[in-house]
Amino acid sequence: MRGCNEKMTIILLMCIVSGVMGAAPKKPVDVPFGRNYIPTWAFDHIKYSNGGSDIQLMLDNYTGTGFQSKGSYLFGHFSMRIKMVPGDSAGTVTAFYLSSQNSEHDEIDFEFLGNRTGQPYILQTNVFTGGKGDREQRIYLWFDPTKDYHSYSVLWNLYQIVFFVDDVPIRVFKNCKDLGVKFPFNQPMKLYSSLWNADDWATRGGLEKTDWSKAPFVASYRGFHIDGCEASVEAKYCATQGKRWWDQKEYQDLDRYQYRRLRWVRTKFTIYNYCKDTVRSAKVPPECKRDRDLY
């Protein structure tokens, strides 16, 4: 029995080393806001602390605010640690997303929809390709995002786009160009984040309005991590494609453990999925047919 146990231990270690047991994105390196980002509007509604390592975005009945990356990127790993607006946040939206500049733009969205006190936040994700969106998915989070900072990140390569919450994959958008579905691959994208009022739709379809007596609403940020292929807006490819860590084989698909985590999110926390919305579209979108575990 001892020999069998030793053999099983060796096999398990080999699996771990080979990556079969997991291929999570590399741990983000926290950097100050000013290294990768600049404010874009309402500069006086951004508050800096800890030498620029922490910032706060403020929303009042005059304006919200936002910021964007200095560079544009083709593929990479992008992460932000955010603590959402606490208390009564109905009508507010905290957004973190990538977007290209053209009219037929590509976009990868995290949008956090506020709610009345005691009600859970809703996380909405969306993917635009060639100017086409309407790919919303909505989930409840398994924690209170107003109590502490949590990591929200995107892994984007030529094979897939993966949305992560604290290293848990909550959504995957595969490259399905062979099915006629466009995939972001040749339009560099900037990163953006903003805090703004959207009480015409954000909370219960616009039924819950922003209570301005609770203003200013504050979202807190740190960990402004970017690890991507920086490119000019005219670039049509990444010069280092195939050579960066996110291009390697272990990042071209989820591993078994990540698939289990994704199914857990799908089963326990999903409240809307465009793939299953037969009212919006009588036909199942092509990308939803390929691997139903992902959608």
Catalytic residue, chosen from 107, 208, 250, 287, is 107
- The DSSP annotation for 58-102 comes to EE-SS--EEEEESSEEEEEEEEEEEEPPPS--TTEEEEEEEE-SS
Please measure the distance between the N-terminal and C-terminal CA atoms of the chain and give it in whole angstroms. Answer: 44
The distance of Cα 100 from the centroid of its chain, to the nearest Å, equals: 15
Catalytic residue among 111, 230, 250, 287: 111
Judge whether 111 counts as a catalytic residue.
Answer: yes
Residue 220: φ, ψ to 5° = -110, 140
Whether 107 is catalytic is yes
Strands 46-49 and 65-69: unpaired
**Best CA proximity match to 219, nearest among 118, 80, 20, 51:** 80
3-state secondary structure of 211: coil
Q: What is the Cα 265 distance to its own chain's centre?
A: 15
CA distances from 238 to 71, 76, 125, 132, 153 (A): 14, 10, 25, 23, 20
> For residues 18 and 22, what is the distance between their CA atoms, to the nearest angstrom?
9
Which sequence positions are flagged as catalytic?
107, 111
